[in-house]
Chain A
Amino acid sequence: MPDFVPHTHEDVVQMLEFLGLKSTEELFSAIPEAIRLAGGLALDKGLSEADVAAELARIGQRNLTTGAERNGLVCFAGGGSYDHEIPAVTRALAGRSEFVTAYTPYQPEVAQGVLEALFEYQTFISRITGLPISNSSLYDGSAALVEAVNLAVAETHSSRVIVSTGIHPNWRRVLATFAKGTGHEIEEVRLVDGLTDWNSVPGDKGGCVVVGFPNYVGAIESLAKARSLADRLGALLVVCQDPVSAGLLHSPGLHGADVVVGEAQAFGTALSFGGPYLGFFACAERLVRRLPGRLVGETIDLGGTRSYVTTLRAREQDIRREKASSNVCTNETLMAITAAIQLGWLGTEGIREIAIAGARAANYARGCFADDPDISFATHAPMFREFALRLPIPASEAIDRLLDEGYLAGIALREGYEGTDLEETMLLAFTERRTKEEIDHFASALRKVVRR
C-alpha cells in the first residue's frame, strides 16, 4: 500500500522521545480504555495505487456511461443535468492544483486567485440572471432553492410557499424535507398543458412563489403571470432558471424575479452521477443582507492595489451562530471557478450558440414525431430545449429497452407527477452535442421499441 505519511520509524521514535513517551499508544491515554477499539478497524488491507486503479476499472465497467467510447450511450436525458461540451481548456485550468487543493479563502493575501475567479463567476451569474447580487455558489439547484425559500419567508414573514410542479420533482422533495425543520407550509400548483395553473391559487397572502424558467418539463412559463400572483400575495418571486436559456431567453431578474436560483452544472461540470454540481443564487440589491453563503467583494490592500475578499461576513453562521438564517459553510467553489472558465470559453457568442443549438435540436426532434400514430407530445406550450413524449408503453419501460440500443433515452416522469397526465411520459433534453444523425437514429429506435 502507498504511504502518504512521511515519517520514518526513526522519526516517530525521536518525536515520541521528545514528548517523553514510549509508544504511539500513549498518545491516546486520554481516551478511556473501555471504549477503545480492540483489534483495529474491520477494513481490507490497503492496496497499491495500481491495484486500486485496476479495481476501479473493473467496477467502472458496470456503469453504462454517456459519450463516444465503445458502448457509450447517446444522451437524451436532462432534467437539470446536461450533456454539454467540456473543452480541454476548461479541464486543464479547472484541474490546476492551486484551485483544487486550496481551502476557503480565509487569508485573502494568499488567496487572490480563488477570490478573483469567484468575483468573475459572480459577475457572470449576475448577467445571466439579470440580478445585481450573486453569491459564490451553493451545493446544487435544490440547495439553492431551499435557501431562496428561506430568504423569502424571512423577508416577508409569511411561511406560505407556493411552488409550481414545473419545478424539478427532486428539488421539491428536498424542499419538503427541510421544511420539516423550518415549518414552511408548501402548496404545490398543478400544471395544465405544461404551464403552471396560477389561477387555482387562492388567497391574498404568501411568502414566496416559485416558478421554473423554462420549467422542468421544458415549457417556457410566463414570468408576468407568476409576478402578478406574487404581487397579489405580497410574496417574493423566486425563479428557478436553466442558465443556458439566458443565451436566448429573458434574464428573469429583468422580468420581475426577486431571487433567481438554479443548477449550473451545464457550465463545465461533467454529469458526475449527480454531484458535485453547482447551485447558483442571485438576488435583488435590497436582499443582500439575507444572502446565504459567501460573497466576494472588491477592495484595495494597504498599498492601494485592487484586491478581493469575502465580504458582508456578518451574515454567516460562524459569526451569527444560532441567529444565522443559513448554515452554509463549505460550498462548491471549484465548480464555480469551473463555470467562470467555461463561460469565458463560450463568451457572448458561444452562450447564444449553445442555447440556440439545443432549441434547434429539440425542434428538429419534435418534428420527427409529429405525425407518429403511437407517439404524441405530452404538452403543447412553447418549449426551449426539452419536451415530454407520451408513449404507448410506460416511459420507464421504453428507457430500459433503449439502453440496449445505445441510448440514455430520457427521464421517466414518475416521482412528483403521480396521478397527473404527465406520469410515465418521457422527458427528452437536447444540447449542442446532439447531431441530426443521432436524433434520426434515436427516433427510429424509439419507434421500434414502443411497438415491440
Chain B
Amino acid sequence: MTQQAPRPGAGRAASAPLVGNASEPTLFEFSSPGRRAYSLRTTGVPGLSAKELIPAEYLRDDALELAEVSERDLVGHFTRLAHRQYCVDLGAYPLGSCTMKYNPKICDEAASLRSFAGVHPSTPVRAAQGWMQILVELEEMLCSITGMAAATLQPAAGAAGELTGLLLMRAFHEARGDHRSKVIIPDSAHGTNPASVTLGGYEVVTVGSDGRGFVNVAQLKDALGPDIAGIMLTNPNTLGLFEEDIVEIARLVHEVGGLLYYDGANLNPILGVVRPGDMGFDIVHMNLHKTFATPHGGGGPGAGPVAVSQRLVGYLPGPRPVRSAAASDEFILEQPAHSIGRVHTYYGNSLVLLRAWTYIRLNGAEGLRRVADVAVLNANWLREKLRGFYDFPYDHPVMHECVISVSSLKKTTGVRALDVAKRLLEFGFHAPTVYFPLIVDEALMIEPTETESPETIAALAAALVEIAQEAAREREEGTALTAAHAPRSTPVQRVDEARAARQLVSTFDARR
C-alpha cells in the first residue's frame, strides 16, 4: 500500500482536543473514500438496480459526493465545533431585544417525547387529539396573557407573525371596501417591521421619537389620516421604555379607522402586569423563543403566534384547531369565515409550541408575574450600576432592557460600542446588541433577563465598568487600547468581515 500525504484534517480525529487557536477543519477534510457511519434497516425488499427502477434519462451520471467519514470522526468534529460556541447554558447572554433567558430542560424533554415528535402532520385529526389539545390550550393561554380574543399559532417566527398580522390588517380593511395604503412605524422599530410592511403591500410612514424616547405624538397626529391602515408599535419600545401615551395613541389611531399592531418582541416585562389588549391593540405577535423560553437553536427555530381582537377573528389563518361544540375535550379543525389562508404548511412550529405550553404550565400565573418583576428589576439594577461610566441618552427607569451609549467614551478614548462588545467577550459574557436602536449614537442595548442572578449581573456590570476604566487609563498612559484589538482569548480573534463579502466563499467547493 502506498503512503498518502496526510490530509488536512487527518490526525485531528484521533480525539485531540483543540489546542490554542487552531481552527477545526471542515467535515469534508476528514473524508476518506470507503469510510462510512450509516447503517440501515434490513427490509427484505427486492434489490432492483437504479436502471430497473427509473428511466435512465432522469438518473444522475456521477455519485452525489457528500463526505465519507466514520461515526467517531463525525462525533469528534461536531463536538469540537460545539466547544467553539457560546450559548445560554454556558453563561449570560445580555443581547437586547432577544430575551436570552435560561431554557428549562424539561421543555426539551417534552419536545422529544415520541408521542408528540413522532406524529405525522397529515395524521387525521381524530388520531392527533393530544396535539390538538396542546395547540388549543396554548392558544387560550396566550390569549389570556395578551388580553386578546383568539390566535393563530401558524407563523414560524416573529417576522412571519408580523407579515401575517399585516395581511390580517389588509383583509380587515378590504372587507369594508376600505383601501388604505400606509402603515406607521416609529423610528425606534426593529428592522423586520418596515420589511414586513413592504411585503404586506403597504408603504412605510416613519414617525420620530420625542426627547423622552417615546413616539412623537404631534408627528403621529400629522401622519394620521384615512390612508393609514395601522401602526406597528413595540411596547416597551426598543429603548426599554413603556410608551406612557399608549392609550392616547390607540385612541388617535382608532379614530381614523386604523388598527394597532403590537410587536411582541418585548413582551417579557409585562407578563401579568399589563396586556396589549387592554392597551387597545388589535393584533399582537409573540416570539415564543423570547418570552416563553424556547431555545433559539443558534438562530431558529422560533415561533411567532399572532393574537387578535374579536373583530379580526374571522380573518385568521386556517384551518384552526378548536374545541368541538359537542364536547370541550374533543377537537376539530375549522376554517374561519374570511380566512386569509394558510401561512404555514401545517400547524406551525409544533414542537416549539409544545415547549412554550410546557413553560407556561410550569410557571403558572404567579411564576410569569415573577418573570416580569425580576426582568425589570435586573435591567434597572444593572443600569444604575453603570451610571457615571456610560451615557444614558434617555434617562428614565426602564422595563426589561436598557440602552446605554458609548458616545463620551469614544470621544475621550476612541473606544467604540463595537470595541466594548468585543472586549466583553473576554470577560466570559456574550456581547449586548450593538448600534441598535438606530436613534442612539454608539448604542449598547442590554437585556439581562430574569434568569441571571444578582451575582452574575454584578459581574457583568463590573466588567463593563472595567472596560471603560481600562480605556481611560490606557488613553492617559498612551498605551495601546486593549478593547480596540479585542478579543484575543476567544476561539478566533476579530474576523475580517469585509474580506468575507469581497471574496465570497460560502461553500467548501468555492474555496480557491
| Contact status B53-A360, CB under 8 Å | yes
CB distance from B298 to the nearest CB of A (A): 4
CB distance from A320 to the nearest CB of B (A): 7
Given A104-B299, A364-B45, is A299 in contact with B506 using a C-beta cutoff of 8 Å?
A: no
Q: Does A176 contact B (CB under 8 A)?
A: yes
Name B340-383 residues within 8 Å CB distance of A. Answer: 340-352, 358, 360-371, 373-374, 376-378, 380-381
Bound together, the chains give a CA A301 to CA B495 distance in angstroms of 4
| Contact status B342-A103, CB under 8 Å | no
Q: Does A113 contact B (CB under 8 A)?
A: yes
| Contact status A271-B121, CB under 8 Å | yes
| Contact status A27-B376, CB under 8 Å | yes
| Contact status A251-B274, CB under 8 Å | no
Given A140-B156, A344-B66, is A66 in contact with B59 using a C-beta cutoff of 8 Å?
A: no
| Chain A neighbourhood of B53, CB < 8 A | 356, 359-360, 363
Interface string of B431-445 (1 = CB under 8 A from A): 101001000000000
Whose C-beta in chain A lies nearest to the C-beta of B342?
A173
CB distance from A330 to the nearest CB of B (A): 4
Q: Does A443 contact B (CB under 8 A)?
A: no
Q: Does B130 contact A (CB under 8 A)?
A: yes
Q: Does B332 contact A (CB under 8 A)?
A: no
CB distance from B74 to the nearest CB of A (A): 5
Q: Does B311 contact A (CB under 8 A)?
A: no
| Contact status A62-B504, CB under 8 Å | no
Q: Does B273 contact A (CB under 8 A)?
A: yes
Q: Does A311 contact B (CB under 8 A)?
A: yes
| Contact status A183-B377, CB under 8 Å | no
CB distance from A41 to the nearest CB of B (A): 4
Q: Does B244 contact A (CB under 8 A)?
A: yes
Besides A61-B130, A99-B85, 6 new A-B residue pairs in contact (Cβ under 8 A), listed by A number:
A24-B376, A52-B358, A101-B89, A101-B295, A102-B297, A317-B192
Whose C-beta in chain B lies nearest to the C-beta of A107?
B431
Name A340-370 residues within 8 Å CB distance of B. Answer: 340-341, 343-354, 356-357, 359-361, 363-364
Bound together, the chains give a CA A334 to CA B302 distance in angstroms of 10
Stretch of B106-114, B251-259, B402-410, B464-472 with 4 or more beta carbons under 8 angstroms from chain A: B106-114
Whose C-beta in chain B lies nearest to the C-beta of A247?
B64
Whose C-beta in chain B lies nearest to the C-beta of A26?
B397
Q: Does B1 contact A (CB under 8 A)?
A: no
| Chain A neighbourhood of B506, CB < 8 A | 119, 122, 133-134, 295-298, 311
Contact residue among A27, A309, A332 (Cβ-Cβ distance under 8 Å from B297): A332
Given A6-B453, A318-B191, is A312 in contact with B501 using a C-beta cutoff of 8 Å?
A: yes
Stretch of A203-211, A230-238, A321-329 with 4 or more beta carbons under 8 angstroms from chain B: A321-329
Stretch of B9-17, B474-482, B484-492 with 4 or more beta carbons under 8 angstroms from chain A: B484-492
Name B123-141 residues within 8 Å CB distance of A. Answer: 123-124, 126-131, 133-134, 141
| Contact status A97-B344, CB under 8 Å | no
| Chain A neighbourhood of B367, CB < 8 A | 1, 3-4, 46
Contact residue among B45, B74, B117, B247 (Cβ-Cβ distance under 8 Å from A344): B74
Q: Does A89 contact B (CB under 8 A)?
A: yes
Given A113-B84, A139-B157, A143-B160, is A7 in contact with B272 using a C-beta cutoff of 8 Å?
A: no
Whose C-beta in chain A lies nearest to the C-beta of B205?
A322
CB distance from A78 to the nearest CB of B (A): 9
Bound together, the chains give a CA A348 to CA B98 distance in angstroms of 39
Interface string of A86-99 (1 = CB under 8 A from B): 01010011011111
Bound together, the chains give a CA A3 to CA B384 distance in angstroms of 26
> Using a Cβ–Cβ cut-off of 8 Å, how many residues does chain B contribute to the interface with A?
206
CB distance from A64 to the nearest CB of B (A): 4
| Chain B neighbourhood of A6, CB < 8 A | 451-454
CB distance from B321 to the nearest CB of A (A): 11
Contact residue among A37, A43, A123, A180 (Cβ-Cβ distance under 8 Å from B340): A180
Contact residue among A28, A110, A132 (Cβ-Cβ distance under 8 Å from B507): A132
| Contact status B98-A67, CB under 8 Å | no
Q: Does B430 contact A (CB under 8 A)?
A: yes
| Contact status B195-A317, CB under 8 Å | yes
| Contact status A332-B166, CB under 8 Å | no
| Contact status B346-A273, CB under 8 Å | yes
| Chain A neighbourhood of B275, CB < 8 A | 37
| Chain B neighbourhood of A451, CB < 8 A | none
**Count of A-B residue pairs with CB < 8 Å:** 715
Residue of B22, B64, B89 with most chain A CB atoms under a 10 A cut-off: B64
| Chain B neighbourhood of A19, CB < 8 A | 377, 380-381, 384, 397
Given A6-B451, A299-B500, A345-B37, is A273 in contact with B507 using a C-beta cutoff of 8 Å?
A: no
Q: Chain A interface residue count: which class?
A: 35 or more
Whose C-beta in chain B lies nearest to the C-beta of A11?
B454
CB distance from A19 to the nearest CB of B (A): 6
Given A7-B453, A177-B340, is A330 in contact with B115 using a C-beta cutoff of 8 Å?
A: no
CB distance from B364 to the nearest CB of A (A): 3
| Contact status B343-A174, CB under 8 Å | yes
| Contact status A435-B41, CB under 8 Å | yes
Given A7-B454, A41-B145, A330-B300, is A305 in contact with B507 using a C-beta cutoff of 8 Å?
A: no
Q: Does B278 contact A (CB under 8 A)?
A: yes
| Contact status A37-B278, CB under 8 Å | yes
Contact residue among B41, B198, B396 (Cβ-Cβ distance under 8 Å from A433): B41
Q: Does B401 contact A (CB under 8 A)?
A: no
Given A112-B84, A311-B501, A344-B66, is A61 in contact with B157 using a C-beta cutoff of 8 Å?
A: no
| Chain B neighbourhood of A277, CB < 8 A | 345
Given A247-B64, A275-B346, is A302 in contact with B485 using a C-beta cutoff of 8 Å?
A: yes
| Chain A neighbourhood of B274, CB < 8 A | 28, 31, 35-37
| Chain A neighbourhood of B500, CB < 8 A | 297-299, 309, 311
* 24 contacts across the A-B interface (CB closer than 8 A): A3-B367, A6-B454, A46-B367, A60-B113, A97-B89, A99-B85, A107-B430, A168-B345, A178-B167, A181-B201, A248-B50, A251-B64, A271-B117, A299-B499, A302-B495, A311-B504, A327-B199, A332-B301, A337-B298, A356-B53, A357-B43, A400-B124, A436-B44, A436-B45
Contact residue among A43, A45, A322 (Cβ-Cβ distance under 8 Å from B204): A322
| Chain A neighbourhood of B58, CB < 8 A | 220, 249-250, 382
Residue of A177, A277, A437 with most chain B CB atoms under a 10 A cut-off: A177
Residue of B63, B199, B244, B350 with most chain A CB atoms under a 10 A cut-off: B199
Whose C-beta in chain B lies nearest to the C-beta of A249?
B58
| Contact status A436-B374, CB under 8 Å | no
Contact residue among A49, A124, A312 (Cβ-Cβ distance under 8 Å from B66): A124
| Chain B neighbourhood of A92, CB < 8 A | 75
CB distance from B462 to the nearest CB of A (A): 15
| Contact status B431-A351, CB under 8 Å | no
| Contact status A43-B145, CB under 8 Å | yes
Q: Does B267 contact A (CB under 8 A)?
A: no
CB distance from A135 to the nearest CB of B (A): 9
Q: Does B118 contact A (CB under 8 A)?
A: yes
| Contact status A109-B278, CB under 8 Å | no
Contact residue among A66, A118, A329, A363 (Cβ-Cβ distance under 8 Å from B118): A66
Bound together, the chains give a CA A188 to CA B194 distance in angstroms of 31
